[in-house]
């Protein structure tokens, strides 16, 4: 029998703990495939965040380092500066990266640290039970915005990719989504490009990936994908914000 | 060996490099700035790396990453900055990684001041971060001792896979003394086979983490850490006894304060007043056993600190209620004068009669 599809060598055999319909599994798989295809599993060191993907260190088949909430870019800086020949990436959610860890991600980008950040934006704090994130949409209900997020008291949702694109050191910035197969393919291309930027030693790269949270959004997995497409993409437009000449 | 006149902060930096530290992550704060400045000059010369982080929080997390990657790494700060580092220190202790942290302390609370103080005693010896953890805290009294202890601290950190702290104050950081860089006593150190250096497909992934979601597993981890801390208490306690044998009053003081107090002991001895000094070199683990060596001639204990009284708790525990414990302290960056301490000793002696 011919094997036409199998688990990527970039991931371990461990079963994911993610909720049904959550797209963390898809994104993990994409990162794993990219590590395998670029033949860098053995030289990669990943930094896991705090949040739903806190156990990412169990899933990626490379050396992994857990970080405190928001601090992954600082930990990754410590690793990459001491081991410039290794491939280093952080995997962070929006509570982690866009709230408590804004200083760390902004300054890692500002210094153009030569690692790659996978930023999963599902517009809510998932692990702690569905609280409002900086990325929660106006009107979106969460456990700490029970009447829906309002602009006057909480401000507008933070657009991370656009913010990063204003930083010179962020040499690769792209926002993608994983709500359907064509976009999953595009997401993989962006992730691959971001790692290639690191391999070329150019500077900091970040891929923002729009993701779902059926459990805390209170929707079925299918409705979640539709909600992402209809509500998140209009506010968080997809596309490449910056790519260095060398890897175009 | 040649002695070099150096400023405390720079001497500590040079000692770290001597110990094989090639990586330094820091953030400016007075009165420790000469240390990161020194590292920014010297580390590139030996293919090392200096990074000025955007905050103390970031700096300690860079240390966390570099330590996990298997390298000797150091950071330094001063009191309010060290408070910010406590989160990271807890993670580093939890993940069992070695590193050296220098605190050149100043007065507080809050922004406080920039003059020498010993008011970080609780924060440094109790573990200002969350959870059950400990780390050795060396409190050098001279720059030579700061150099020797810094060099050794890297070995001790690697040996136990635990952060080690050098606690100086603004006086230690800012003053100049001649120092020499001696070869330290070497320990047999375990290989860093746990480091995140890339599997190269030859082994299972290494995972550095302090997360244990199963409470039974976390308790097991806490028991394991506690065993390590007990080993430190057993084997790493250091202190100096000065004229304690026949002393009627034994003074307890560490770091800068102990230097002043040593002069007090000499001055009073010239008057045939029998005073001695116990100088903790490790303030954690605290030298409880030194108090067992206090003779029956001792009538009282006097704790002298540049704080409102923090070490006094440990002194009382070590004393086990045997002798009255008196306290003299200055705060806010004020330094005790020998005359003031002598006055306090005379007051205690008068009270005893």
Element (H, E) at B165: strand B163-169
Ranges of CATH 3.40.50.970 domains, chain B: 4-189+210-235
CB contact under 8 A, B65 and A74: yes
Give the CATH architecture of domain B240-348: 3-Layer(aba) Sandwich (3.40)
With a cut of 70, say whether residue A23 has pLDDT above it: yes
Instruction: Tell me the residue range of the domain where A206 lies.
Output: 24-247
CB contact under 8 A, B59 and A86: no
Residue A19 located in a structural domain = no
Cα(first)–Cα(last) distance of chain B, in Å? 51
Q: What is the pLDDT of residue A247?
A: 87
Q: What is the pLDDT of residue B103?
A: 98
CB contact under 8 A, B199 and A66: no
Distance CA B243, CA B247 (A): 7
CB contact under 8 A, A74 and B69: no
Question: Which two tokens mark B153?
Answer: 């601290």
Give the pLDDT confidence of A59-76 residue by residue, as tens digits: 999 999 999 999 999 999
Question: Chain B closest CA to A179's CA: distance in Å?
Answer: 31
Residues 6+ positions from A126 with CB-CB distance below 8 Å: A22, A51, A52, A93, A95, A213, A215, A216
Element (H, E) at B338: helix B338-352
Residue A33 located in a structural domain = yes
Where do the H-state alpha helices sit in B1-141? 8-18, 34-42, 56-68, 79-94, 121-126
Collect all residues of chain A within an 8 Å Cβ-Cβ radius of residue B65. Answer: 47, 65, 67, 74-80, 82
CB contact under 8 A, A65 and B65: yes
Question: Chain A closest CA to B292's CA: distance in Å?
Answer: 42
Q: What is the pLDDT of residue A43?
A: 98
| Coil, helix or strand at residue B162 | coil
Q: What is the pLDDT of residue B165?
A: 98
Closest to B38 measured CA to CA, from B77, B7, B60, B59: B7
Give how far Cα B199 sits from Cα of A96, B154, B314, Å.
Answer: 27, 26, 46
Q: What is the pLDDT of residue B127?
A: 85
Ordered per-residue pLDDT tens for chain B, 353 residues: 799 999 999 999 999 999 999 999 999 999 999 999 999 999 999 999 999 999 999 999 999 999 999 999 999 999 999 999 999 999 999 999 999 999 999 999 999 999 999 999 999 999 899 999 999 999 999 999 999 999 999 999 999 999 999 999 999 999 999 999 998 788 999 999 999 999 999 999 999 999 999 999 999 999 999 999 999 999 999 999 999 999 999 999 999 999 999 999 999 999 999 999 999 999 999 999 999 999 999 999 999 999 999 999 999 999 999 999 999 999 999 999 999 999 999 999 986 54
Q: What is the pLDDT of residue B168?
A: 98
Q: What is the pLDDT of residue B353?
A: 44
Q: What is the mean pLDDT of chain A?
A: 97
* DSSP assignments along A51-85, one per residue: SGGGGHHHHBSSEEEE--TT-HHHHHHHHHHH-TT
Residue B131 contacts A where some CB pair is shorter than 8 Å: no
- Say which CATH number the domain at A132 has: 3.40.50.970
% of chain A with per-residue pLDDT over 90: 98
Residue A1 located in a structural domain = no
Residue A68 located in a structural domain = yes
Where do the H-state alpha helices sit in B241-311? 255-270
With a cut of 50, say whether residue A6 has pLDDT above it: yes
Q: What is the pLDDT of residue A197?
A: 98
Distance CA B349, CA B302 (A): 11
Residue B59 contacts A where some CB pair is shorter than 8 Å: yes
| Coil, helix or strand at residue A176 | strand
CB contact under 8 A, A78 and B73: yes
CB contact under 8 A, B205 and A67: no
Q: What is the pLDDT of residue B38?
A: 98
Where do the H-state alpha helices sit in chain A? 24-37, 56-59, 72-82, 94-95, 102-110, 151-154, 160-165, 181-199, 214-217, 221-227, 233-235
CB contact under 8 A, A66 and B95: yes
Q: What is the pLDDT of residue B186?
A: 83
Residue A191 located in a structural domain = yes
Residue A16 located in a structural domain = no
Ranges of CATH 3.40.50.920 domains, chain B: 240-348
Residue A8 located in a structural domain = no
Which chain A residue has the Cα nearest residue B201? A42
Neighbours of B337 (CB within 10 A): 12
Topology of the domain covering B4-189+210-235? Rossmann fold (3.40.50)
Give the pLDDT confidence of A214-229 residue by residue, as tens digits: 999 999 999 999 999 9
How would you class A112 by CB atoms within 10 Å of its CB: exposed for 0-12, middle for 13-18, buried for 19 or more? middle
Distance CA B8, CA B179 (A): 9
CB A76, CB A90: distance < 8 Å:
yes
Residue B334 contacts A where some CB pair is shorter than 8 Å: no
Residue B64 contacts A where some CB pair is shorter than 8 Å: yes
Which chain B residue has the Cα nearest residue A70? B58
- Count of structural domains within chain A: 1
CB A96, CB A66: distance < 8 Å:
no
Neighbours of B103 (CB within 10 A): 26
Residue A223 located in a structural domain = yes
């Amino acid at each position: 029998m011919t094997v036409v599809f199998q688990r990527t060598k970039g991931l371990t055999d461990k079963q994911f703990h993610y909720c049904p319909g959550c797209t963390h599994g898809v994104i993990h798989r994409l990162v794993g495939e990219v590590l395998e295809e670029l033949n860098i599993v053995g030289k990669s060191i990943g930094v896991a965040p705090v949040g739903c993907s806190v156990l990412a260190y169990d899933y990626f088949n490379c050396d992994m380092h857990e970080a405190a909430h928001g601090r992954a870019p600082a930990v990754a800086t410590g690793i990459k500066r001491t081991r410039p020949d290794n491939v280093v990436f952080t995997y962070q959610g929006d509570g982690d990266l866009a709230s408590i860890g804004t200083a760390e991600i902004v300054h890692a980008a500002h210094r153009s640290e030569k690692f790659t950040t996978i930023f999963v934006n599902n517009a809510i704090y998932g692990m702690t039970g569905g609280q409002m994130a900086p990325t929660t949409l106006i009107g979106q209900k969460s456990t700490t915005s029970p009447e829906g997020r309002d602009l006057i008291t909480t401000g507008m949702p933070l657009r991370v990719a656009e913010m990063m694109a204003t930083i010179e050191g962020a040499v690769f910035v792209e926002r993608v989504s994983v709500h359907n197969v064509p976009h999953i393919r595009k997401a993989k291309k962006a992730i691959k490009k971001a790692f290639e930027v690191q391999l070329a030693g150019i500077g900091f790269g970040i891929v923002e990936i729009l993701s779902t949270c059926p459990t805390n959004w209170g929707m079925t997995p299918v409705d979640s994908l539709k909600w992402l497409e209809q509500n998140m993409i209009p506010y968080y437009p997809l596309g490449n914000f910056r790519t260095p000449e060398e890897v175009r | 060996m040649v002695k070099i006149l150096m400023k405390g902060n720079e001497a500590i930096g040079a000692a770290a490099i001597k110990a094989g530290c090639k990586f330094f992550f820091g953030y400016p704060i007075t009165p420790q700035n000469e240390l990161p400045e020194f590292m920014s000059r010297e580390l590139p010369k030996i293919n090392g790396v200096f990074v000025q982080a955007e905050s103390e929080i970031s700096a300690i997390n860079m240390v966390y990453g570099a330590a996990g990657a298997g390298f000797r790494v150091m950071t330094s700060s001063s009191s309010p900055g060290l408070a910010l580092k406590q989160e990271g220190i807890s993670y580093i202790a939890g993940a069992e990684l070695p590193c050296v942290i220098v605190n050149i302390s100043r007065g507080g609370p809050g922004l406080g001041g920039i003059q020498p103080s010993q008011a970080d005693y609780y924060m440094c010896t109790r573990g200002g971060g969350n959870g059950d953890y400990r780390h050795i805290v060396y409190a050098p009294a001279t720059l030579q001792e700061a150099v020797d202890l810094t060099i050794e601290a890297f070995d001790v950190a690697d040996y136990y896979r635990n952060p080690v702290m050098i606690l100086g104050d603004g006086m230690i950081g800012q003053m100049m003394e001649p120092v020499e860089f001696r070869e330290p006593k070497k320990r047999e150190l375990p290989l860093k086979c746990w480091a995140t250096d890339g599997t190269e497909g030859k082994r299972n992934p290494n995972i550095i983490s302090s997360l244990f979601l199963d409470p039974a597993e976390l308790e097991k981890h806490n028991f394991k850490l506690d065993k390590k801390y007990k080993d430190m208490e057993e084997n790493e306690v250091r202190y100096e006894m000065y004229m304690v044998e026949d002393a009627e009053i034994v003074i307890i003081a560490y770091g800068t304060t102990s230097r002043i107090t040593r002069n007090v002991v000499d001055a009073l001895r010239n008057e045939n007043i029998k005073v001695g000094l116990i100088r903790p070199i490790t303030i954690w683990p605290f030298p409880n056993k030194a108090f067992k060596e206090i003779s029956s001639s001792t009538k009282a204990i006097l704790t002298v600190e540049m704080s409102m009284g923090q070490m006094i708790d440990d002194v009382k525990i070590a004393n086990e209620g045997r002798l009255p414990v008196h306290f003299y302290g200055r705060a806010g960056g004020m330094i005790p004068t020998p005359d003031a301490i002598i006055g306090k000793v005379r007051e205690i002696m008068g009270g005893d009669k």
